[in-house]
């Protein structure tokens, strides 16, 4: 059994494998609690392998986060932003050989990318307000969202491999309740890109697709990427 770290935090809103964030050869696990600390949000990366004999039948996220190097904390920025409502592993987006992750704070209109590093277990935690170019980046949803449209309720990322396991393309969803999706991409070989989309990507690489108002699910877009590097948007 895993005990949540914060009372009322809705621990387990997202439970997903995020790749090998500390570059030790094992796939790591992310658990989010977006309502913790007055909805500031706190997320936990559990570094594998976990020696369950050390913890017995109960794995307490609070204890392990503070007392050893099995858990890395991702602390939200401000109350009521619901950081960790959506989260996903995105592969190696900065091309340093280590997997990375992304998570959203939809009420705060923020999307955070956090780079994986071998020393994450030693650091123990990060406050997402302090994310900088050496450990990640932040996308400000206010620049892209419509007024009163929370940004980033759904976030997903999938890789598609061709012959000989050659990385061909990726799909990313980042959807607000108004149906908006933003991505950044570089066309890769063997991927068909419409002339209109290619022209936009050659300008500044960032654009917004405005969908129909309504739900926050059921949308998926193909995103071409460079071979050998995980696509970001």
Asked if residue 11 and residue 49 are part of one domain, the reply reads: yes
Gap between the Cα atoms of 59 and 17, Å rounded:
17
- Average pLDDT on 50-54 reads 68
For the chain, percent of residues with pLDDT exceeding 90? 22
Asked if residue 180 and residue 135 are part of one domain, the reply reads: no
At residue 218, the pLDDT reads 30
At residue 128, the pLDDT reads 92
Gap between the Cα atoms of 152 and 104, Å rounded:
6
Tens of pLDDT along 139-155? 776 655 445 444 445 45
Contact 32, 43 (CB under 8 A): yes
Asked if residue 90 and residue 204 are part of one domain, the reply reads: no
Counted domains in the chain:
2
Asked if residue 162 and residue 136 are part of one domain, the reply reads: no
Asked if residue 162 and residue 127 are part of one domain, the reply reads: no
Asked if residue 104 and residue 30 are part of one domain, the reply reads: yes
Contact 71, 47 (CB under 8 A): yes
Asked if residue 75 and residue 172 are part of one domain, the reply reads: no
Asked if residue 132 and residue 167 are part of one domain, the reply reads: no
Give residue 222's domain range.
158-233
The pTM assigned to this predicted structure is: 0.68
Contact 176, 219 (CB under 8 A): no
Asked if residue 54 and residue 21 are part of one domain, the reply reads: yes
Q: Which stretches of 56-99 are DSSP H helices? A: 61-67
């Amino acid at each position: 059994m895993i005990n949540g770290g914060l009372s009322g935090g809705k621990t387990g809103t997202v439970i997903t494998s995020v790749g090998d964030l500390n570059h030790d050869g094992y796939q790591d696990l992310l658990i989010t609690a977006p309502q913790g600390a007055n909805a500031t949000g706190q997320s936990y990366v559990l570094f594998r392998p976990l020696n369950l004999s050390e913890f017995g039948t109960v794995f307490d996220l609070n204890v392990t986060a503070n007392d050893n190097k099995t858990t890395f904390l991702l602390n939200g920025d401000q109350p009521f932003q619901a950081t960790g409502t959506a989260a996903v592993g995105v592969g190696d987006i900065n091309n340093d050989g280590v997997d990375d992750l992304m998570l959203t704070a939809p009420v705060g209109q923020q999307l955070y990318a956090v780079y994986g590093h071998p020393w994450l277990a030693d650091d123990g935690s990060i406050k997402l307000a302090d994310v900088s170019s050496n450990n990640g980046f932040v996308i400000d949803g206010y620049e892209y969202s419509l007024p009163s449209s929370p940004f980033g309720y759904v976030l997903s990322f999938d890789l598609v491999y061709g012959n000989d396991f050659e990385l061909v393309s990726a799909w990313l969803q980042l959807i607000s309740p108004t149906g908006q999706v933003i991505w950044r991409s570089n066309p890769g070989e063997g991927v068909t890109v419409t002339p209109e989309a290619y022209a936009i990507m050659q300008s500044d690489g960032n654009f917004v697709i405005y969908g129909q108002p309504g739900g926050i699910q059921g949308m998926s877009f193909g995103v071409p990427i460079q071979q050998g590097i995980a696509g970001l948007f």
